[in-house]
Structure 1
Amino acid sequence: MVQQEHSLSYLLELFGMITSQPLPTANGDIDPSNNLQLKPHLGQILRSRRVRVLGTAFFLATLLIYIFYDPSVGFNFEYSAVNTVHASESEFTGSKCAESSVDWSRFAYTQYVTNTEYLCNSVMLFEILHRLESKADRLMMYPASMHPDSTSPSKESQLLLKAKKEFNVKLMPIEVQHRVQGDHENPATWADSYTKLLAFNQTQYDRVLSLDSDSTVLQHMDELFLLPPAPVAIPRAYWLDKPYLSSQLVLIQPSAEEFKRVKDSIDGAVSGDFDMEIVNNLYGKDCMIIPHRRYDLLTGEFRSKGKHETYLGNTYEEWDPEKVFKEAKFLHFSDWPVPKPWISTPENTRNDNQPKCEIAAQGKEDCRARDLWLGFYADFQKRRKDICGFAPQGHKPRGIENIERGPPRGAFVPQL
């Protein structure tokens, strides 16, 4: 700093000495009496020694200032892109700054498998996450009776190996948590759904995101793993009249203590209590809420002719099926009485229950909701054939006859 001030002082002194000199005469000599002479013409000025010296001095001054200037002396401001990221933005929207330092091996998307049909669904879901380049691990809990054996011709073995080799899925054999209840009217699919709750015991991870496999992932959801700590984070079942949580997507912090609570609830479950009821009983008043909009969209929403206020979360927004689809990240198939997408749907059932075209402004027909809805099912069936080699089932799976008596528990029955 002292050296810098000395250099600047010297240059200012030199500049003052130079500017105090009288103008030269026509022959280039200095005459003190010319201090008050008439202004010379431009050619005289440019040829004068004074101008040459001034130009050289100005160049040297600029060079020295550039060399010795320290910007921290008079302007002390440090900018850090990382520090400017708000917690809500970095933790929930998955900003690049926050994600760059994340150890993604601490997190996992989880699937549970109880039979061959749901094994295919799980492989399909993991294929999407792989294609979307999600960063978290992928964990499949599958029945120990299935074997990922390369020498076996069984479809189960082939699908397990496909998941492991092609989609980087970690395989974990488990015992299916099946509980037969006394009234014998509960579909076996729900009785097996206790298996989903084994996700609470996956303590090798800090957090796991459990997804129902009768769904489609539209965008990866890695940002959910970065939410503030909570034993459970879950969306609301927005389609029900009563306040209830949806177990179709559950973000879990596994621990021995929480798993014991869940296991005790399974052992003490009364008739009609399955995974959804247990989660609500344990965490209904003490959980973090994930927005259902984007993260828990039902296919039945596209069939409803209501105002869609419960899904949109307000009364002023106009329903736009394309906009809703584009912003959604997780789509769950729920269209009673239309069966799940891996089951063949009679043409009359599909025609009677598909979304109806509407008359938009200026009398133009709007069929976007119908086309999207039909596309959901067509896409699922195509991927099922491409990935698993399965065609839609023509028979009723175990328990489906009970479902057809009426809407299943927690079903979305749209206003048609």
Structure 2
Amino acid sequence: MRLVTKRKLRYLLFTLLLALIVSFTCNAVVESQLNKEIKFYKVYFEQKKDGLQGIYNPLAIKQIPEETIDALYAYKMNKVAKHGETIDWSKFAYVNYATDIDYLCSTFIMFQNLKRYGTKAKLHLMVSNQMLSPDNEFSQSANMLLQRIRNLDPEQVVVKPVESTYKPNDQSEWKDSLTKLQVFNQTEYDRVIYLDSDAELKDSMDELFFIPSYIKFAAPLAYWFFDDKDLEAAYHDVKVAEKSPINLARYTDKLSVRIKKDQMIYNHLPNLPPPLFLNTENVAQDIINSRPSLLQMLGVPTGGSQSSKAKFASTVMVINPSSDTYEEIIHWLLPQVLKSKNKFDMDLINEELYNMRRTIYYNFKLFRRLKTEYLPELLVLPFGRYGLLSGSIKNSDHYPMIKNDVLGYRRLDTDGHEFPKTLEDYVKDCKYVHFSDSPIGKPWNYGSLEDIKCRVDAEQSENVEEQKEVCALWNTLYSSHMTNRHLCML
């Protein structure tokens, strides 16, 4: 009996070992074949892109420079002015959400500014029912301020009460940030620009409504996660591995010509350098491993999904709302995040909904079957214009990225020199500055600028005059917002 048992055990072990060998062999063959296909198509799209129409590169995450965004907008406005084309502005909206009185005040300031900047798009506010409840100590002030927001323009302003999404037992400043995910369900619009309201909005962003319509999600990168090594790897990849020029003008000039000719531009956009989101030593293995596990597909939080170092920020997002996407969020992704500690809206977007590695895997899988049916969904916006942190003004380590916010590429003149722009120029050109400068809190947490004012220590600073300019920029930003908050009359 024991002999039989030992034989069975040896047989089972042998069978298991054989199965593992077969599995590893099959995976190795699949990876090898996939890597060959990836190399082939990378060369194919680089060599053939000028003549391609209706076929999109599935192996790249693309970045769109501000020059190209402006060229697309100018082309659209020219068609409106000279060819009688119309724009249904009711299908476009700027969206905020507010779950407390401070953020409601920020929305009032932001919507008032958007009116002043001349946008015709709807101004859509998702406001927490809980804040307006009579049980809330601020409900009276909130309702009065909400009426003032409506009165900015009763036709243009849309107020939609929503239920806040809270993480249980969470007291962090992001405890209700998951509420913003309801923006994906605002399907009365074709496209929305979601904005966190704790920011200084310095100009209209109407141009973002007219990036390619097939793009379902576009956002700046959370650039503060990168360091010098990442930037060097990005430049090296573009220049050496991809054998492409790093001068951004080589791309923007060609893109402008193609836009004027109404030609396809996606394949000509600069790539996000793969080392920022992929293991370039074995791309096939990396994207295959990005697939969700069986437990994750069953809704069990495993902590197994990992986003790349390149992450989308969730402060500014251009979204084509979709009931299907929202259903996926509500029924599959949100329950996992609610059960996971220290995971919020940005984690859901980067680890699950728009995981870059996983996106490449599914894109290529679809492309291999239905080449002409594949359409890209993601786009990286330039953070220098649409996603600057207030803390970066004082952080000299961030200056190289602010100057060159299309990562892996440089803004150079025809002689290969950087343009003589100052930090003040870059801050002035930025349309959206998010108040984030730890350990300093939001502007409304302080009685006056004097409480947090940036000051130069002449004895500690190497370049006193330069530091004075930095402090002047930072102080002006915070002072402006503090002054505007008096408009809320709270």
TM-score (norm 1): 0.64
The worse-fitting range, judged by mean Cα deviation, of 170-179 and 339-348 is: 339-348
1:192 pairs with 152, 171, 176, which one?
A: 176
Q: Distance in 1 between matches of 2:423 and 2:70?
A: 27
Q: Deviations over 1:143-202 (max 9, x none)?
A: 2245599xx992111111111112442110111111215xx5x50x31211110000000
- Which residue of the partner structure matches residue 380 of structure 2? 289
- Which residue of the partner structure matches residue 389 of structure 1? 489
1:127 pairs with 109, 112, 115, which one?
A: 112
List aligned pairs for 1:230-309, cutoff 5 A: 230-241=215-226, 242-263=309-330, 264-269=332-337, 270-281=340-351, 282-285=353-356, 286=359, 287-306=378-397, 308-309=399-400
Q: Distance in 1 between matches of 2:317 and 2:200?
A: 15
Shift of 1:368: 2.2
Shift of 1:318: 6.1
Equivalent pair of 2:131/2:139 in contact (CA under 8 Å) = no
**Would you say 1:378 and 2:359 are equivalent positions?**
no
Identity of aligned residues (%): 29
List aligned pairs for 1:335-354, cutoff 5 A: 335-344=437-446, 350=452
Shift of 1:310: 2.0
- Which residue of the partner structure matches residue 103 of structure 2? 118
Equivalent pair of 1:293/1:311 in contact (CA under 8 Å) = yes
5+ residue gaps in structure 1? 1-85, 391-416
- Which residue of the partner structure matches residue 332 of structure 1? 434
2:201 pairs with 217, 233, 254, which one?
A: 217
Shift of 1:112: 0.6
Q: Distance in 2 between matches of 1:205 and 1:370?
A: 41
Q: CA 1:271–1:159 in structure 2 vs 1: closer, same or farther (change >3 Å)?
A: same
Please state whether the residue corresponding to 1:154 is helix, strand or coil. helix
Give the AA of the match of 2:488: C
List aligned pairs for 1:88-237, cutoff 5 A: 91-92=72-73, 96-98=77-79, 100=81, 101-146=86-131, 154-167=140-153, 168-181=156-169, 184=170, 186-187=171-172, 189-228=173-212, 229-237=214-222
Q: Deviations over 1:73-124 (max 9, x none)?
A: xxxxxxxxxxxxx996553457531455221111100011111111111111
Q: CA 1:176–1:155 in structure 2 vs 1: closer, same or farther (change >3 Å)?
A: same
Q: CA 1:340–1:87 in structure 2 vs 1: closer, same or farther (change >3 Å)?
A: closer
Shift of 1:306: 2.8
Q: Distance in 2 between matches of 1:366 and 1:336?
A: 19
Shift of 1:345: 6.8
Give the AA of the match of 1:372: L
1:368 pairs with 469, 476, 479, which one?
A: 469
Q: Distance in 2 between matches of 1:248 and 1:278?
A: 14
Shift of 1:347: 7.8
Q: Distance in 1 between matches of 2:128 and 2:392?
A: 33
TM-score (norm 2): 0.55
Please state whether the residue corresponding to 1:308 is helix, strand or coil. helix
Q: CA 1:356–1:205 in structure 2 vs 1: closer, same or farther (change >3 Å)?
A: farther
Q: Distance in 2 between matches of 1:355 and 1:129?
A: 34
Structure with greater helix share of residues = 2
Shift of 1:292: 0.9
Q: CA 1:347–1:204 in structure 2 vs 1: closer, same or farther (change >3 Å)?
A: closer
Q: Deviations over 1:10-55 (max 9, x none)?
A: xxxxxxxxxxxxxxxxxxxxxxxxxxxxxxxxxxxxxxxxxxxxxx
Q: CA 1:310–1:147 in structure 2 vs 1: closer, same or farther (change >3 Å)?
A: same
1:322 pairs with 402, 416, 424, which one?
A: 424
Shift of 1:330: 0.7
Please state whether the residue corresponding to 2:452 is helix, strand or coil. helix
Shift of 1:372: 1.5
Q: CA 1:389–1:232 in structure 2 vs 1: closer, same or farther (change >3 Å)?
A: same
Give the AA of the match of 2:327: K
Q: CA 1:354–1:341 in structure 2 vs 1: closer, same or farther (change >3 Å)?
A: farther
Equivalent pair of 1:354/1:370 in contact (CA under 8 Å) = yes
Q: CA 1:88–1:294 in structure 2 vs 1: closer, same or farther (change >3 Å)?
A: closer
5+ residue gaps in structure 2? 1-66, 227-308, 360-377, 405-409, 412-417
Q: Distance in 1 between matches of 2:139 and 2:178?
A: 30
Q: Distance in 2 between matches of 1:311 and 1:89?
A: 19
- Which residue of the partner structure matches residue 33 of structure 1? none
Please state whether the residue corresponding to 1:306 is helix, strand or coil. helix
Q: Which has the higher contact order (CA 8 A, sep 6+)?
A: 2
Give the AA of the match of 1:308: Y
Give the AA of the match of 1:190: W
The structure with the largest alpha-carbon Rg is: 1
Q: Distance in 2 between matches of 1:208 and 1:354?
A: 39
Equivalent pair of 2:221/2:313 in contact (CA under 8 Å) = yes
Q: Distance in 2 between matches of 1:283 and 1:210?
A: 16
Q: Count residues in correspondence.
A: 295
